[in-house]
Amino acid sequence: MSDQKPKRQTRYVAKVRNMSGSNGPFQKIYAENSNPLNADGTPNKYFKGSLLWVDAETGKYYQVKQLSFFNPPQGMNPSQAEKGFASFITLDLENKYEVEELK
């Protein structure tokens, strides 16, 4: 029997960046090396995969590049807050910096 532990099936898929805006501090979630090709067309040696959003309303597929935290001004619904939820994560399907529509 081998003493080696099985490899963990964990993937680092995104990073969170704290930012300041006109409405105060906020966070953006950036997908980790989300493109298989660099801007010049060469292969991205750090590419390990992509996050995809399949939109149930339109049936379209999107590659996720960025996500945002959304904290409702009135706070979370009390039933959600009781369960420990503090914010939502949003995706703007019309923002080319957040998503790329896949054909």
pLDDT at 6: 78
Query: In the predicted model, what is the mean pLDDT of residues 62-84?
Result: 91
Q: Which residue would you say has higher pLDDT here, 9 or 28?
A: 28
Percent of the chain scoring above 70 in pLDDT: 98
pLDDT at 74: 86
pLDDT at 1 > cutoff 70: no
Q: Which pTM value belongs to this model?
A: 0.72
CA-to-CA separations, 42 to 45, 46, 64, 77, in angstroms, rounded: 9, 12, 21, 47
Query: Tokens for 88?
Result: 């939502």
Mean pLDDT across the chain, nearest whole number?
A: 88
